[in-house]
Amino acid sequence: MALHPKIIDLTLDRVWRLLVALGNPQNHLPPVIHLAGTNGKGSTQAMIRAGLEGEGHVVHAYTSPHLVKFHERIRIAGTLISEAALSAQLDACYNANDGETITYFEITTCAALQAFTETHADYTLLETGMGGRLDVTNVVDQPKACIITPVDLDHQHFLGNTLAKIAHEKAGILKRGVTAIIAPQQDEAMEVIERQAAKIGAPLLVHGQNWHVGVEAERLIYQDETGLLDLPLPSLQGPHQIQNAGAAIATLRFLGMGETACTAAVSQAFWPGRMQRLRNGPLVENLSCNEIWLDGGHNPAAGRAIAATLANLAKRETHIICGMLNTKDVQGFLAAFGTDCASLTTITIPNEPNAVPAADLAAAGRACGITSFEGTDIDEVLKGLSQRHPEARILICGSLYLAGHVLRKNDKSA
């Protein structure tokens, strides 16, 4: 962090300098599948990984941010990077960087790329951190495939304040001659993606044109030009996971995988902090409440997806605990819950300098028509709600940083 520049300029100059010093590991990776998008990247990647591994392939995976510990970002041949390996890679990158300024995400991504070159795998899954065109992961000339998950408003201070501008940044991962799988998009975003693809000569497999996905009789139905698949519903909760599953299956089919991989993708994927039900652990095991859910979604589109997921569950009074960062559209996120939320209790995310104060968050909730209260400690808020509403559902949401805080407190080994 001492090397971190005072102002982050979104260029790749620092990254290219360090990659050259490391011997250009980005040119020696197993075949890369590169993912960008506003929402659904992590879930889609998790399903692709489950599918590839279900058919016997060895997979590296890079994702961000982490929830509980940094090691979650780097999965080597199916296993989280070890403490010793992580330390060695970070030391090597620190030394190769030779004291130059570089961001936390830049140097740790270079460490991941270097680590991936040192262990055999059949595929490498790379998830962008933010944007795409100038994202640190966008250094692979010829990935095996690209994926753009749904694009929406987020990180506007870096990526632009319109859907078209953000879509332009996401479409920056497209490469000439490399097929890209495109998840459902709003028209404004789709126009930008198609225009960029035509400009550089990137073939597209587009939802609604080249592949279709939906639900019939409690089964996931996927269809493309090679045929129809009748699969279980995704293990990941929520209607939005249907479109994520579709993008994952489209990718697997493009890679030549069969029904075994597609079934594993929807049935074996696990992605913590995304409509995750907390059933065990020190934080929740002594509570009398029937259901406790956790989701790290933090933008308006994620709020709508969470609300739709709640609407699909058995009808039950729902109380929300929320903490958010001040870089997010707080009111846009909370507006999704106005009609279905019995109460909102806000907390200030611990140890986060950019956390929205609980009082300000509660005021935003009231502005959305939600009965809102301020809370302090997550333990006390959970206990109070479960005692007052033992038959209710509790949802903790608003930030991946809050989700990580909750998962750490709920870890028996912590």
We report the CATH number of the domain holding residue 181 as: 3.40.1190.10
* Residue at which a domain ends, from 241, 268, 295: 268
Which of the 8 DSSP states describes residue 226? T
Distance of alpha carbon 278 from the chain centroid: 19
Q: Is residue 345 part of a domain?
A: yes
- Indicate if 97 and 228 belong to the same structural domain: yes
Q: Is residue 192 part of a domain?
A: yes
**pLDDT, tens digit, for every residue of 340-353?**
799 999 999 999 99
* Residue at which a domain ends, from 246, 268, 290: 268
Determine the structural domain holding residue 379 and report its residue range: 276-409
**pLDDT, tens digit, for every residue of 123-172?**
999 999 988 899 999 999 999 999 999 998 776 676 777 999 999 999 99
**Which CATH number does the domain housing residue 393 bear?**
3.90.190.20
**Crossing angle of helices 187-200 and 163-170, rounded to 10°:** 40
| Spatial separation of the C-alpha atoms in residues 314 and 308, rounded to whole Å | 12
Q: Is residue 199 part of a domain?
A: yes
- Indicate if 259 and 351 belong to the same structural domain: no
Of the candidates 196, 269, 266, the residue with the CA atom closest to the CA atom of residue 232? 266
* Residue at which a domain ends, from 250, 268, 286: 268
Give the tokens for residue 320. 């929300």
Predicted confidence at residue 414, as pLDDT, reads 47
SS3 295: coil
Predicted confidence at residue 332, as pLDDT, reads 94
- Indicate if 212 and 351 belong to the same structural domain: no
Local confidence pLDDT in tens for the 414 residues of the chain: 778 776 666 689 999 999 999 999 999 999 999 999 999 999 999 999 999 999 999 999 999 999 999 999 999 999 999 999 999 999 999 999 999 999 999 999 999 999 999 999 999 999 999 888 999 999 999 999 999 999 987 766 767 779 999 999 999 999 999 999 999 999 999 999 999 999 999 999 999 999 999 999 999 999 999 999 999 999 999 999 999 999 999 999 999 999 999 999 999 999 999 999 999 999 988 887 779 999 999 999 899 999 999 998 989 999 999 999 999 999 999 999 987 799 999 999 999 999 999 999 999 999 999 999 999 999 999 999 999 999 999 999 999 999 999 999 998 654
How much of the chain is in helix, strand and coil states, percent to nearest 5?
Answer: 40, 15, 45
- Indicate if 305 and 289 belong to the same structural domain: yes
- Indicate if 192 and 254 belong to the same structural domain: yes
- Indicate if 104 and 151 belong to the same structural domain: yes
Q: Is residue 3 part of a domain?
A: no
HSE, CB side, 13 Å, CA atoms: give it for residue 212.
12
Q: Is residue 67 part of a domain?
A: yes
| Spatial separation of the C-alpha atoms in residues 127 and 78, rounded to whole Å | 16
Predicted confidence at residue 287, as pLDDT, reads 85
- Indicate if 184 and 246 belong to the same structural domain: yes
Which of the 8 DSSP states describes residue 398? S
- Indicate if 39 and 178 belong to the same structural domain: yes
By the 8 A CB rule, do 383 and 287 touch?
yes
pTM of the model: 0.92
Give the tokens for residue 22. 């490391």
- Indicate if 251 and 382 belong to the same structural domain: no
By the 8 A CB rule, do 289 and 317 touch?
no
The total domain count for the chain is 2
> Cis before residue 350, ω within 30 degrees of 0?
no
- Indicate if 183 and 109 belong to the same structural domain: yes
